[in-house]
């Protein structure tokens, strides 16, 4: 058996307790006080260990997918084999082109990039053609405060005081944006993620009401999120930048939005689509007005993979960081946020392995 043969592929669901200085937000009608994601650990015959991350809505389901589908197909294969992931995608395509199986493959994909970079002894960005910047701005991505002007003011002021220079809201009203703008003053970029709030015929009026408060972009304005024709019409109508991608069903939907220039920013999530697909989309944006601005929902290897992607791509964008108080901050010591920026790690692979509290099970599901 060759040294780079995969001998184990393991899913490690993790749940990070958090609070956001407010009663827990609701998810599927229930209070949410933990952020769920999943580490993906791969090991080769010679003992090399690499890490990825998968989006994880239901830990039991994702663990079963890894145990019954992903690990049997990957183990025994060469970690350098460029055909491994595409072959698995085709074998498993009848289980869906989006959803947990695709998210599992995305986590494996990130781990294989980490593995290849570690074995080459280079930072991951080197496999993407090299870094174009040594550090990346990070924006504070607030969870939902349901339009509370008092809480939006307090949390925005707190984030700016910690050195962040850009803010994202998960709100749906002009009043919420107005409250945040009062807290920031002019000139501070404020992105507004509405999470597919409106039907096409509703969105124009809602965005027009936000326009006086100078949003930097409106994110995921429409349902369904893949409707590139409706997005193109909205873009022409509203005159404010649109950002889409986290909820698109597959990379092909984002390719169409780039090719048709239906939006201003596309936002692939590496823990849903994989780093390979996200990097392909970033390169597809080159030479077009569309900018790749990866969406980063969680805090593990996917966060670092997105950092390397932004460091290597042509156009500079900021990295998303959910602005919450975590019981444990992954990479808080090894890759700290300082004055609203992250230094791009220069050590092999992603630049840091998951810290002991995660890898050894303290916050394991």
The three state secondary structure string of 29-87 is CEECCEEEEEEEEEEECCCCEEEEEEECCCHHHHHHHHHHHHHHHHCCCECCCCCHHHH
Place of tokens 């058996």: 1
Contact present, 235 and 266 (Cβ < 8 Å): no
Regarding beta strands 135-141 and 341-343, do their DSSP bridges make them parallel or antiparallel, or are they unpaired? antiparallel
Identify the pLDDT of residue 306: 98
Take residue 111 and report the two structure tokens written for it.
């781990």
Take residue 220 and report the two structure tokens written for it.
């995921």
How many helices and strands, by DSSP H and E, does the chain display?
14, 16
Of 359, 360, 265, the C-alpha closest to 40 is 359
261: number of Cβ within 10 Å: 13
Identify the pLDDT of residue 358: 61
79: number of Cβ within 10 Å: 23
Identify the pLDDT of residue 26: 78
Cis previous bond, 224, omega within 30: yes
Take residue 106 and report the two structure tokens written for it.
């995305």
Contact present, 188 and 160 (Cβ < 8 Å): yes
pLDDT tens digits in sequence order for the chain, 365 residues long: 788 999 999 999 988 899 999 988 877 778 888 888 899 999 999 999 999 999 998 888 999 999 999 999 999 999 999 999 999 999 999 988 889 999 999 999 999 999 999 999 999 999 999 999 999 999 999 999 999 999 999 999 999 999 999 999 999 999 999 999 999 999 999 999 999 999 999 999 999 999 999 999 999 999 999 999 999 999 999 999 999 998 877 899 999 999 999 999 999 999 999 999 999 999 999 999 999 999 998 899 999 999 999 999 999 999 999 999 998 888 988 999 999 999 999 999 999 998 655 655 667 76
Take residue 227 and report the two structure tokens written for it.
């409707």
Cα–Cα separations (whole angstroms), residue 304 to 29, 68, 193: 31, 28, 22
Place of tokens 């803010």: 167
Place of tokens 């599927």: 28
Report how far residue 292's alpha carbon sits from residue 46's, in angstroms, rounded to the nearest whole number.
36
List helix spans (H) across 50-194.
59-65, 71-74, 84-91, 100-120, 124-127, 149-161, 174-184
Provide CB contacts within 8 A for 234, sequence distance 6+: 200, 203, 204, 207, 221, 222, 242
Identify the pLDDT of residue 360: 53
Name the strand (E) or helix (H) holding 137: strand 135-141
Identify the pLDDT of residue 34: 87
Report how far Cα 147 is from the mean position of its chain's Cα atoms. 24
Contact present, 24 and 33 (Cβ < 8 Å): yes
Report how far residue 156's alpha carbon sits from residue 161's, in angstroms, rounded to the nearest whole number.
9
């Amino acid at each position: 058996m060759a040294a780079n043969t995969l001998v184990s592929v393991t899913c490690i669901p993790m749940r990070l307790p958090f609070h956001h200085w407010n009663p827990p937000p609701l998810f599927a009608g229930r209070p949410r006080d933990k952020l769920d994601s999943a580490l993906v650990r791969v090991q080769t015959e010679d003992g090399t260990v690499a890490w990825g991350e998968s989006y994880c809505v239901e830990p039991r389901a994702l663990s079963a997918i890894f145990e019954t589908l992903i690990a049997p197909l990957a183990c025994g294969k060469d970690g350098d084999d460029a055909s491994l992931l595409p072959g698995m995608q085709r074998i498993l395509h009848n289980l869906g082109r989006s959803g947990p199986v695709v998210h599992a493959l995305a986590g494996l994909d990130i781990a294989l990039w980490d593995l290849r970079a570690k074995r080459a002894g280079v930072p991951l960005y080197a496999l993407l053609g090299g870094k174009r910047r040594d550090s990346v701005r990070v924006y504070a991505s607030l969870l939902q405060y349901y339009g509370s002007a008092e809480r939006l003011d307090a949390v925005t002021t707190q984030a700016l005081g910690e050195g962040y220079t850009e803010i994202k809201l998960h709100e749906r009203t002009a009043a919420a944006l107005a409250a945040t703008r009062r807290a920031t003053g002019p000139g501070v970029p404020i992105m507004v993620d509405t999470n597919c709030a409106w039907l096409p015929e509703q969105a124009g009026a809602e965005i027009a009401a936000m326009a006086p408060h100078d949003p930097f972009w409106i994110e995921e304005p429409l349902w369904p999120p893949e409707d590139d024709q409706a997005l193109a019409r909205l873009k022409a109508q509203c005159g404010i930048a649109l950002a889409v991608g986290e909820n698109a069903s597959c990379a092909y939907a984002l390719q169409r939005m780039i090719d048709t220039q239906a939006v201003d920013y596309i936002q692939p999530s590496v823990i849903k689509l994989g780093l390979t697909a996200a990097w392909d989309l970033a390169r597809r944006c080159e030479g077009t007005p569309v900018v790749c601005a990866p969406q980063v929902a969680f805090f593990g290897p996917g966060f670092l993979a997105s950092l390397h992607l932004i460091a290597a791509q042509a156009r500079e964008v900021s990295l998303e960081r959910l602005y919450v108080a975590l019981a444990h901050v992954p990479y808080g010591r090894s890759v700290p946020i300082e004055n609203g920026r992250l230094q791009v790690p220069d050590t092999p692979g992603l630049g840091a392995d998951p810290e002991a509290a995660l890898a050894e099970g303290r916050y394991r599901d």
